[in-house]
Amino acid sequence: MEASSRPAQLDSPVVARIIRIGSRLNTRLYRLTRGRLGGTWRVGAALRRPTPVCLLTTTGRKSGQERTVPLLFLRDGESIVLVASQGGLPNNPAWYYNVRDEPNVRIQIGREERNYLARIAGHAERAELWPRLVEMYADFDTYAAWTDREIPVVICEPV
């Protein structure tokens, strides 16, 4: 399937910089308030139905340093499900490669912080989870239409 055209303005260096700054600010506010601020996403499809946000901390595959990013998440029993959508960009986000190379991660949801073992969902698991993820945040389907890559789904299981 060929990707539909992604709005060109989203690929602007200015937009990328705004996203990076927003991500850092969200992470700081989330940590400071234990998720009271920055704990929900209210943009796009989430405007009317806010979507929960967690903080994922990985080990940088190149730097070896901790890296934390705010991400939308879905609870699946004790597991936390993440989507490496990166807004439908052609490449996977850096956190995905960090998780792939070092699956021991930490996730903060509100006041609670736990260690998890992350793994990339197999084809059948992804197919089962994808409709639930889209129900949670419909823009995931839009992002999938904007890219030729299959957007990875990551399952984090508590250790």
If you write DSSP's letter for every residue of 36-100 in order, what string do you get? TTTSEE-SGGGSSS-EEEEEEEEE-TTT-SEEEEEEE-EEETTEEEEE--GGG-SS--HHHHHHH
**Per-residue pLDDT for 1 more than 90?**
no
Q: Mean pLDDT across the stretch 10-21?
A: 84
44 occurs within a structural domain: yes
51 occurs within a structural domain: yes
2 occurs within a structural domain: no
pLDDT score, position 6: 79
pLDDT score, position 46: 81
Q: How many domains does the chain have?
A: 1
CATH number at residue 44: 2.30.110.10
SS3 category, 152: coil
The pLDDT mean for the chain works out to: 93
pTM: 0.92
- Please give the residue range of the domain that contains residue 143: 8-158
**Per-residue pLDDT for 148 more than 60?**
yes
3 occurs within a structural domain: no
pLDDT per position as a tens digit, 41-84: 988 778 788 999 999 999 999 999 999 999 999 999 999 999 99
pLDDT score, position 18: 87
